[in-house]
Amino acid sequence: MNFLLELGEGLRIALEAIRANKLRSILTTLGIIIGVVTVTLMGTAIDGLNRAFMQSIAKLGVDTLYISRTGWFVETYEDWTRLRTRPQITLRDVMQLEKEVHTVLAVAPIVRSMAGVKYRERSSQNVSIVGSTDQMVLTGGLGIETGGRFFTAEESDGGRPVCVIGSDVATNLFPRLNPVGKQVKINLRPYEVVGVLESQGMFMGAFSLDNQVIIPVRQFLTHFWHDPDFEIQVKVGDVARLEEAKDELRGAMRKVRRLEPGDADDFAINQQEQIAERLRVVSATIAAVGLFITGLSLFVGGIGIMNIMFVSVTERTREIGLRKALGAKRRTILVQFLIEAAAICVVGGLLALAIAWPVTLVLKHFMPAQLSLPLVGIALLVSALTGLISGFLPAWRAARMNPVDALRNE
């Protein structure tokens, strides 16, 4: 007998049987549904995290290094209190470092604060105010909208009252006007807008890079914060030279910070790879927990399927006997019941996707989550496999039935 015909007939019988026992079939798939929802959401979350990270990395550039007083990830409170005693990084440190290193593309000091920004009667609250130099356009990989520019070295060194505004700030304050050449007030002090940053979107889905205003660092020191702890952004310019550049920066920083040969570093050189590592740990944790829940619910679900298939086989003993009398082989009966078990599970898988999909839409607000096609495929495949595995024993029992006894069954 033609195997495709057998599959087609099996599917038809399976769907008829499921339709005849709708409620029973759906209740049976509850475990499968939970399992598949978990595996789908887990996949979506991991995928979303990675995607968010890749997008953020693409914005900042992988060849950017960040020097600060402490590392990005401080593990313990003890470490934290110890690291707090390190001397702050000052603007003088940054300037000296800039003179010491020669092989990197650009070095820029970064300090941040928050303030309100106003243009006439329109205002934007909680804007991130960044103090830096003209070099930041290179280190931050910033793009400027046409018609504007970043502030120049002269404006930067002279501490001129100019600013470059993020795209969110621009749309908030200047819904219809071109912001370039206009005067905004930051903390009531006037600054001339010389350029608008191209939109950069969210960083890790957490905060907007577009809600910021960049001003010359000397302006920042005079009017916002006299004695801040600087972060130094370094653009290496070549990913292949990243390690080399780190060594050079470390040597130069030790010299700038006047460390003796035996002293430990009192600064840290960070790079995005560290975030990537964190992310891998988080992803692995989500995966481990998710797989555990998935495995458990699929196991329980599988047992439910096995149980209901045994019931189905017993109920249809006469039908099995009849089919065998009419010429169905063992394989035909086996395939028929395997398909039925798989079909019940796939129905469960589809229900699960119908639940997971709106949840993904909610997740979308936090990360670029997406119910990807391969994930849908995996979910359905996992459901079908669960059905095939747990349906095997009942199907085997059906296939091995003796037609005489089966037909006699009442």
Partner 1 sequence: MSLICLTNIARRYVMGAETIHALRDVSVSIERGEYVAIMGPSGSGKSTLMNLLGCLDTPTEGTYELNGENVSDMDDNQLADIRNREIGFVFQTFNLLPRANALRNVELPLIYSGMRLDERRERAREALQQVGLGDRVTHKPNELSGGQRQRVAIARALVTRPSIILADEPTGNLDSRTGEEIMQLFARLSEAGNTILLVTHEESIAAHARRVVRLLDGRVAADEAKGGDRSPEA
Please identify which residue in 177, 330, 354, 381 interacts with partner 1, judged by CB under 8 A.
330
How far apart are alpha carbons 322 and 325 in whole angstroms? 5
Tell the smallest beta-carbon distance from residue 329 to partner 1 (Å): 5
Tell the smallest beta-carbon distance from residue 40 to partner 1 (Å): 33
What is the DSSP annotation of 351-384? HHHHHHHHHHHHHTTTS-----HHHHHHHHHHHH
How far apart are alpha carbons 115 and 119 in whole angstroms? 14
Spell out a b/e string for 306-340, using b for 16 or more CB atoms within 10 Å of the CB, else e. bebbeebbeebbebbbebbeeebeeebbbbbbbbb
Report the residue number, 29 or 336, with the smaller CB distance to partner 1. 336
Q: What are phi and psi of 90, to 5 degrees?
A: -105, 170
How far apart are alpha carbons 21 and 344 in whole angstroms? 11
Tell the smallest beta-carbon distance from residue 203 to partner 1 (Å): 59
Decide: helix, strand or coil at residue 148.
Answer: coil
Please identify which residue in 68, 332, 360, 386 interacts with partner 1, judged by CB under 8 A.
332
Q: Is 22 in the site for partner 1 (CB under 8 A)?
A: no
Strands 162-165, 189-196: pairing is parallel
What mask of x and - would describe binding to partner 1 in positions 296 to 325, judged by CB under 8 A? ----------------------xx--xxxx
Report the residue number, 120 or 408, with the smaller CB distance to partner 1. 408
Tell the smallest beta-carbon distance from residue 21 to partner 1 (Å): 11
Decide: helix, strand or coil at residue 115.
Answer: strand
Task: Please report the sign of the dihedral spanned by the C-alpha atoms of residue 367, residue 371, residue 373, residue 374.
Answer: positive
Length of the chain: 410
Report the residue number, 23 or 373, with the smaller CB distance to partner 1. 23
Q: Is 18 in the site for partner 1 (CB under 8 A)?
A: no
Report the residue number, 2 or 76, with the smaller CB distance to partner 1. 2
Q: Is 327 in the site for partner 1 (CB under 8 A)?
A: yes
Report the residue number, 293 or 322, with the smaller CB distance to partner 1. 322
Number of neighbours of residue 258 by Cβ within 10 angstroms = 7
How far apart are alpha carbons 268 and 246 in whole angstroms? 10
How far apart are alpha carbons 254 and 241 in whole angstroms? 20
Report the residue number, 327 or 374, with the smaller CB distance to partner 1. 327
How far apart are alpha carbons 239 and 394 in whole angstroms? 59
Tell the smallest beta-carbon distance from residue 310 to partner 1 (Å): 20
Tell the smallest beta-carbon distance from residue 387 to partner 1 (Å): 21
Q: Which of 384, 406, 402 has its CA nearest to residue 338? A: 384
Q: Is 340 in the site for partner 1 (CB under 8 A)?
A: no
Total binding residues toward partner 1, as defined by CB under 8 A: 22
Q: Is 5 in the site for partner 1 (CB under 8 A)?
A: yes
Please identify which residue in 206, 331, 377, 381 interacts with partner 1, judged by CB under 8 A.
331
Q: Is 9 in the site for partner 1 (CB under 8 A)?
A: yes
Tell the smallest beta-carbon distance from residue 56 to partner 1 (Å): 56
Q: Is 11 in the site for partner 1 (CB under 8 A)?
A: no
Q: Is 339 in the site for partner 1 (CB under 8 A)?
A: no
Residues at the site binding partner 1, with contacts judged by CB under 8 A: 1-2, 5, 9, 16, 20, 318-319, 322-332, 403-404, 407
